[in-house]
Structure 1
């Protein structure tokens, strides 16, 4: 019943930065998904994959995991890099 803790990243398809400050605790899948023979849909008997808890900061997520005895790994947030480029650079 291991979990991972990470910060929500900005959606690449949108310019908005809503909910970027939230941290998520998500359980690691216990079993692989399998195709249903009748419908072909992917699924598994592991119901913890459906659970995703959000927290205001990393400390709160770690405290929840420690309080409930959940071994959790924290995935570091990659640094944000901006490619600054002038419009005139398109014509060089």
Structure 2
């Protein structure tokens, strides 16, 4: 029984950073998922894969895992690369890509 501790990134539908400061503890799957031959649904007998614990800080998540004897690995969040773009860049005379009107 091992777990993964990570800070979720924003979804593709978000422009802000809401719901990204928390840390999540999820258990690694112990069994492979099976495909139901009749309906095509995927299922698993692993009930721990449904558990998702949310913590305010990374230290709280680590303390919980150590207190309960859960092997864990921490995935540090990657900082997004922000490009500085201004509206005035569209009208520069030395643009790298010319206007195609």
Scaled by the length of structure 1, the TM-score of the pair is 0.91
Q: Look up the match of 1:59.
A: 59
Q: Distance in 1 between matches of 2:27 and 2:90?
A: 45
Q: Look up the match of 1:69.
A: 69
How does 1:1-92 map onto structure 2 within 5 Å?
A: 1-90=1-90, 92=95
Post-superposition shift, 1:34? Answer: 1.1
Give the CA RMSD over aligned residues.
1.3
Counterpart secondary structure, 1:89: helix
The unaligned stretches of length 5 or more in structure 2 are 96-101
Post-superposition shift, 1:32? Answer: 1.3
Q: How many residues align?
A: 92
Post-superposition shift, 1:90? Answer: 3.8
Q: Which has the larger radius of gyration?
A: 2
- CA offsets, 1:21-74, max 9 Å, x none? 100000011111110122110011111111100000000000000000000000
Scaled by the length of structure 2, the TM-score of the pair is 0.83
